[in-house]
């Protein structure tokens, strides 16, 4: 589901002292020494009230974002200038002229795009992920400036001139260990679609005794979600000597039964959990850090790439039990939707899915609103004098955190043409049709919120509304899914995802009625009261035991 920008400390010594300026236009340029060739991409200026981190790392699609502004650049040459003035859209402040006068730490950034000549005949520009997980403000190869401290006054004339003299370095390689291995492949299927080498990968966690018992084969639990280099289930040795405070433990248990990564690591390495191979799938696209695991008009054939390329490669490199009943799935949020997508669209490949707080399972609750019936995604306009803004996120107590309008404004600042790598754009790329210009068509206009029902119906027809897909195809896929669908969500999920789960469960329970079977025979669990996004009812150790019980029960005897 959601991503957060990771902050990193910036020492005061990196700040460049310059004279106080009064300005309302920012001029960005880069020298040939930083980048010799013209750049097509997105240019940004970030203005922060503090220097606790670099300004670029204090901005994004969040309630606490510091102001930033973005504009496309095309074939921008070294020495050429791009101007960011009051006409350029910003977030959370819409325009530089709306920014309060005061002292700010300012930084410039240009994110380069790659040109793709796709197999569908479209040529587009988009950011080719370089191992950062589509974080626009931390993308390797981007041009970035030093931090300047300025006095900004929107009522004054003048300029702030920023030279982007540095290039962000590649992501550091993560080493393998006895327990954690890494798989990197180039997907032939995705590469053919993009006409560009498209990597896929996995982080593999091996069970105790794997190296000693060289004839034993193991079932596999596949975990899916936002891009990460971390081992599955938070497995880690880092800072495990430090004890968790009673207060921190109480707060954690109030949110979820999930244990800490160190606690899980101790159980895994001691062999007190079922011995399985755990695999986290990496499948970024030029539009998002997660392909949403199904074949897509915009992203390409990632469902087939995962099931026909990556999983066979895992089976080849490791001693897996290469049968459907010994492959189980789990993930949360985006990953929660992913595992149900894989299980329902590829029912012969997997033996069970444990979906945690999944993205919308029924598009009649696209988080909150109904994209099939509503006219606008931003506001409920019921004819009253007090139209209501539609929330995108809330606190567990119900207080609105961000609105759908606000998040879409942030994505428009990050990129045009659905290339922000943000949540709403990620769904448009994964589930929506391709536009005449080759870019994803959003289900609503990102400035007005007007819903395009033709796009919504296209998303439903292609099977991305999972409740609708499962219900329409139950007579065919239902017999293959009996006992394999398991969902858990908090009753006050921060993104209203419990609403889609209610609808999904309503259909699943209806399969008990005469003539609608077979009965799904799975589970749906709700965290009450006030359980937020991220809630799960068991520890990961308990989850593995539940999975192993099902694997043993469904094992095929030769």
Is 249 domain-assigned?
Answer: yes
Of 412, 446, 461, which residue sits at a domain end?
461
Tokens of 328: 């189980």
Residues 411 and 470 in one domain: no
Give pLDDT, residue 155.
Answer: 87
CA-CA distances (angstroms) from residue 434 to 39, 233, 295, 411, 475?
25, 35, 13, 19, 31
Cβ atoms < 10 Å from Cβ of 255: 17
Buried b (16+ CB within 10 A) or exposed e, 123-147: ebbbbbbbbbbbbbbbbebbbbbbb
The residues near 133 (Cβ < 8 Å, ≥ 6 apart) are 3, 226, 227, 228, 284, 289
Write down the pTM of the prediction.
0.94
Please determine, for residue 205, whether its predicted confidence score (pLDDT) is greater than 90: yes
The parent domain of residue 21 ranges over 12-167
For the segment 323-352, the average pLDDT, to the nearest whole number, is: 98
The residue with greater pLDDT, 108 or 213, is: 108
Digit-coded pLDDT (tens) for 112-134: 999 999 999 999 999 999 999 99
Residues 91 and 150 in one domain: yes
Residues 146 and 34 in one domain: yes
For the segment 14-24, the average pLDDT, to the nearest whole number, is: 49
What is the CA 429 to chain-centroid distance, rounded?
12
Residues 240 and 313 in one domain: yes
Give pLDDT, residue 3.
Answer: 52
Beta strands 147-152 and 15-16, pairing class: parallel
Residues 18 and 136 in one domain: yes
Whether 353 and 343 have beta carbons less than 8 Å apart is answered as yes
Question: Across the chain, what does the average pLDDT equal?
Answer: 94
Residues 151 and 191 in one domain: no
- At residue 19 the predicted structure's pLDDT band, cuts being 50, 70 and 90, is very low
Is 544 domain-assigned?
Answer: yes
Of 426, 461, 496, which residue sits at a domain end?
461
Give pLDDT, residue 7.
Answer: 34
For the segment 310-338, the average pLDDT, to the nearest whole number, is: 98
Radius of gyration over every alpha carbon of the chain, rounded to an integer in angstroms: 24
C-alpha count within 13 angstroms, C-beta hemisphere, residue 277: 25
Buried b (16+ CB within 10 A) or exposed e, 74-104: eebeeeeebebbeebbbbbbbbbeebeeeeb
Is 67 domain-assigned?
Answer: yes
For the segment 7-12, the average pLDDT, to the nearest whole number, is: 35
Residues paired with residue 43 on neighbouring β-strands, in sequence order:
71, 110
Residues 325 and 470 in one domain: yes
Q: Strand runs (DSSP E) across 378-484, as ranges?
A: 379-380, 388-389, 391-394, 400-403
Is 64 domain-assigned?
Answer: yes
Is 54 domain-assigned?
Answer: yes
Is 71 domain-assigned?
Answer: yes
* Rounded-to-integer distance, Cα 284 and Cα 61, Å: 19
Sign of CA dihedral 126, 130, 289, 78: negative
Residues 122 and 190 in one domain: no
Of 413, 446, 461, which residue sits at a domain end?
461
Q: What is the dihedral of CA 518, 522, 526, 532, to 10 degrees?
A: -110
Residues 229 and 255 in one domain: yes
Please determine, for residue 339, whether its predicted confidence score (pLDDT) is greater than 80: yes
For the segment 139-143, the average pLDDT, to the nearest whole number, is: 97
Give pLDDT, residue 13.
Answer: 33
The residues near 404 (Cβ < 8 Å, ≥ 6 apart) are 367, 368, 369, 377, 378, 389, 390, 391, 392, 424, 449
For the segment 453-472, the average pLDDT, to the nearest whole number, is: 98
Residues 314 and 196 in one domain: yes
Give pLDDT, residue 301.
Answer: 98
Is 418 domain-assigned?
Answer: yes
Digit-coded pLDDT (tens) for 154-194: 988 888 999 999 999 999 999 999 999 999 999 999 999 99
CATH number at residue 252: 3.40.50.1820
Is 2 domain-assigned?
Answer: no
Please determine, for residue 9, whether its predicted confidence score (pLDDT) is greater than 60: no
Q: Tokens 């309008």 label which residue?
A: 405
Digit-coded pLDDT (tens) for 489-539: 999 999 999 999 999 999 999 999 999 989 999 999 999 999 999 999 999
Residues 428 and 388 in one domain: yes
Residues 381 and 416 in one domain: yes
Domain count for the chain:
3
């Amino acid at each position: 589901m959601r991503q957060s920008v990771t902050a990193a400390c910036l020492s005061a010594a990196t700040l460049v002292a310059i004279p106080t300026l009064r300005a309302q236009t920012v001029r960005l340029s880069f020298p040939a020494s930083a980048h010799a060739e013209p750049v097509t991409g997105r240019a940004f200026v970030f203005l922060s009230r503090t220097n606790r981190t670099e300004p670029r790392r204090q901005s994004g699609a969040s309630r606490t974002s510091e102001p930033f502004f973005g504009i496309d650049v095309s074939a921008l040459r070294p020495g050429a200038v791009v101007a960011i003035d009051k006409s350029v859209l910003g977030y959370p402040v819409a325009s530089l002229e709306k920014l309060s006068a005061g002292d700010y730490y300012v930084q410039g950034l240009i994110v380069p795009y790659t040109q793709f000549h796709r197999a569908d005949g479209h040529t587009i520009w988009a950011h080719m992920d370089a191992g950062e997980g589509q974080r626009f403000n931390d993308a390797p190869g981007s041009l970035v400036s030093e931090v300047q401290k300025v006095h900004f006054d929107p009522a004054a004339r003048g300029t702030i001139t920023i030279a982007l003299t540095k290039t962000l370095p590649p992501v550091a390689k993560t080493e393998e260990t006895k327990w954690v291995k890494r798989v990197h492949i180039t997907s032939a299927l995705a590469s053919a679609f993009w006409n560009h080498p498209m990597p896929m990968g996995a982080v593999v966690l091996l069970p105790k005794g794997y190296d000693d018992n060289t004839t034993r084969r193991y079932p596999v639990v596949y975990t899916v979600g936002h891009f990460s280099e971390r081992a599955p289930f938070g497995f880690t040795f880092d800072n495990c000597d430090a004890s968790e405070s009673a207060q921190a433990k109480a707060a954690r248990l109030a949110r979820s039964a999930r244990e800490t990564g160190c606690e899980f690591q101790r159980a895994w390495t001691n062999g007190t959990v079922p011995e399985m191979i755990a695999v986290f799938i990496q499948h970024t696209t030029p539009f998002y850090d997660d392909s949403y695991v199904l074949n897509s008009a915009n992203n390409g054939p990632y469902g087939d790439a995962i099931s026909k390329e990556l999983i066979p490669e895992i089976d080849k490199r490791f001693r897996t039990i290469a049968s459907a009943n010994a492959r189980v799935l789990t993930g949360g949020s985006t990953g929660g939707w992913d595992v149900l997508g894989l299980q329902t669209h590829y029912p012969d490949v997997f033996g069970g899915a444990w979906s945690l707080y999944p993205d919308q399972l029924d598009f009649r609750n696209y988080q909150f609103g109904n994209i099939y019936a509503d006219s606008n995604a931003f506001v409920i306009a019921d004819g009253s004098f007090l139209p209501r803004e539609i929330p995108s996120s809330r606190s567990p107590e119900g207080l609105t955190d961000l609105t759908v309008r606000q998040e879409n404004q942030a994505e428009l600042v990050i990129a045009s043409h659905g290339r922000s790598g943000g949540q709403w754009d990620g769904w448009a790329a994964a589930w929506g049709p391709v536009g005449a210009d080759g870019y994803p068509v959003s289900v609503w206009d990102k400035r007005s919120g007007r819903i395009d029902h033709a796009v919504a119906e296209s998303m439903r027809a292609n099977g991305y509304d999972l409740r609708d897909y499962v219900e329409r195809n139950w007579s065919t896929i239902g017999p293959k899914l009996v006992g394999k669908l398991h969902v858990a969500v908090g009753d006050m999920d921060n993104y209203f995802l419990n609403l889609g789960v209610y609808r999904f469960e309503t259909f699943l329970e209806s399969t008990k009625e005469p003539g609608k079977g077979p009965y799904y025979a799975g589970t749906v669990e709700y965290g009450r009261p006030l359980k937020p996004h991220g809630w799960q009812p068991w520890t990961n150790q308990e989850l593995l035991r539940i999975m192993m019980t099902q694997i043993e029960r469904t094992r095929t005897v030769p």
